[in-house]
């Protein structure tokens, strides 16, 4: 399976396209090649040249000044509307963006998003169409190149990085738990992402053996909330290797793998993500294979599929747990 497309004009950082992508031999996203509306193509914010967006059938790609690449699934393009589906904890409630299109100017008039540490809604954004073919974009899973083979760490460096990670994680989790996620918290979150990128570029992924189980968990918690798909894929690759080497940190690879799949409009493998419907029922988001899920969950050191569904049923005792149709 092969597909090719060109992303950002005059913007040469490496980015993603999930064609024959295989992270540690496991992830594959298929592109939809159907006819698409005239909104498709590459667009640039008229007031921010680093804000570049590519609309493809099934996906929206967006960059920012920090070089992050956001990937969102698009369930539907309608006349004047772009619909981002409800992804449960990955994107609760979904998003509807309204737009007007006049020649080579695209104006998002409702639900418009900018990316600056977090996704922010703004009243309106105007974008201009730019050529698709100015850059030859190569497929890169990681924003930092291939993950380094884990180098040896001296005790003092490991302890310093451990404490830094845990402090950052505790600060971030406290902000999320309090619901007070304002400007300072967003700026701190952006600093966490940039620091994590620099750290794994120098030292490799934050694994439990060289660092500590607490540090490995902290690195995951920082990475999973990052908008940058390339950092999340780098984290997914590092966490998988850590899990296969016997890390005592359970469950985080399955969670991150499923989240990345959903953002790419794919089916989740491990069934970790779900949403609560207006009826009160719990809907497990689309699965890759109900027949193989037990085997996959066992390899990922997860509870059995039956046990997982029972635990969800206990959250809504008088309601149902259902599974969304596969995409």
Give residue-wise pLDDT tens across range 11-38.
Answer: 333 333 332 333 333 333 333 334 345 8
| pLDDT at res. 249 | 84
Query: Which residues 6+ apart lie within 8 Å of 79 measured at CB?
Result: none
pTM: predicted TM-score of the whole model, two decimal places: 0.77
d(CA 327, CA 310): 24
Q: Residue 42 pairs with which residues in a beta bridge?
A: 54, 130
| pLDDT at res. 269 | 96
Give residue-wise pLDDT tens across range 53-64.
Answer: 888 888 888 888
144, 245, 241: which is closest to 196 by C-alpha?
144
Measured in degrees and rounded to the nearest 5, phi and psi for residue 95 equal -140, 140
d(CA 23, CA 239): 11
d(CA 327, CA 316): 26
| pLDDT at res. 248 | 84
Higher pLDDT, 8 or 290: 290
Give residue-wise pLDDT tens across range 142-200.
Answer: 444 445 566 788 889 999 999 999 999 888 888 877 766 677 777 888 889 889 988 98
d(CA 143, CA 230): 5
Q: If you count them, how many residues does the chain have?
A: 327
| pLDDT at res. 312 | 95
Query: Which residues 6+ apart lie within 8 Å of 240 measured at CB?
Result: 23, 24, 26, 253, 257
d(CA 15, CA 129): 19
Give residue-wise pLDDT tens across range 256-279.
Answer: 999 999 988 889 999 999 999 999
| pLDDT at res. 137 | 34
Domain residue ranges in the chain: 274-323
Higher pLDDT, 7 or 303: 303
Question: Per-residue pLDDT averaged across 233-247, rounded?
Answer: 89
Query: Which residues 6+ apart lie within 8 Å of 143 measured at CB?
Result: 13, 14, 67, 69, 197, 228, 230, 231, 234
**In which band, very low, low, confident or very high, does the pLDDT at 281 lie, cut at 50, 70 and 90?**
very high
d(CA 41, CA 226): 25
| pLDDT at res. 34 | 40
Question: Per-residue pLDDT averaged across 2-7, rounded?
Answer: 35
Q: Between β-strands 76-78 and 69-73, what pairing exists: parallel, antiparallel or unpaired?
A: unpaired
Burial 93-125 (b: 16+ CB within 10 A, else e): eebebebeeeeeebebeebbbbbbbbeeeeeeb
Provide the percentage of residues in the chain whose pLDDT is more than 90: 34
Higher pLDDT, 29 or 240: 240
| pLDDT at res. 119 | 74
Structure tokens at 264: 């790419």
Q: Is 51 helix (H, G, I), strand (E, B) or coil?
A: strand
């Amino acid at each position: 399976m092969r597909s090719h497309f060109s992303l950002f004009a005059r913007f040469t950082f490496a980015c993603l396209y999930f064609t024959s992508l295989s992270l540690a031999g496991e992830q594959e996203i298929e592109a939809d090649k159907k006819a698409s509306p005239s909104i498709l193509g590459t667009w640039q914010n008229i007031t921010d040249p680093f804000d570049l967006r590519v609309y493809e059938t099934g996906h929206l790609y967006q960059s920012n000044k920090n070089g992050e690449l956001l990937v969102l699934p698009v369930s539907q393009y309608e006349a004047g509307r772009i619909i981002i589906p409800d992804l449960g904890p990955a994107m609760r409630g979904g998003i509807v963006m309204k737009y007007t299109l006049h020649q080579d100017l695209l104006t998002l008039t409702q639900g418009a998003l900018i990316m600056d540490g977090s996704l922010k809604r703004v009243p309106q954004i105007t974008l201009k169409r730019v050529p698709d073919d100015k850059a030859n974009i190569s497929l890169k899973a990681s924003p930092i190149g291939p993950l380094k083979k884990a180098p040896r760490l001296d005790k003092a460096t490991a302890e310093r990085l451990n404490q830094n990670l845990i402090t950052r994680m505790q600060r971030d989790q406290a902000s999320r738990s309090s619901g007070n996620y304002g400007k300072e918290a967003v700026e701190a979150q952006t600093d966490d992402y940039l620091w994590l990128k620099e750290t794994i570029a120098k030292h490799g992924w934050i694994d439990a053996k060289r660092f500590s189980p607490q540090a490995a968990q902290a690195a995951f918690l920082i990475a999973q909330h990052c908008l940058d798909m390339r950092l999340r894929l780098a984290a997914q690759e590092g966490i998988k290797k850590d899990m296969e080497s016997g890390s005592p940190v359970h469950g985080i690879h399955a969670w991150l793998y499923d989240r990345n799949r959903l953002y790419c409009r794919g089916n989740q493998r491990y069934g970790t993500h779900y949403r609560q419907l207006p009826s009160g029922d719990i809907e497990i988001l689309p699965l890759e294979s109900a027949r193989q899920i037990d085997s996959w969950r066992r390899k990922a050191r997860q509870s059995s599929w039956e046990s997982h569904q029972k635990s969800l049923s206990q959250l809504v005792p008088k309601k149902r747990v259902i599974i969304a149709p596969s995409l």
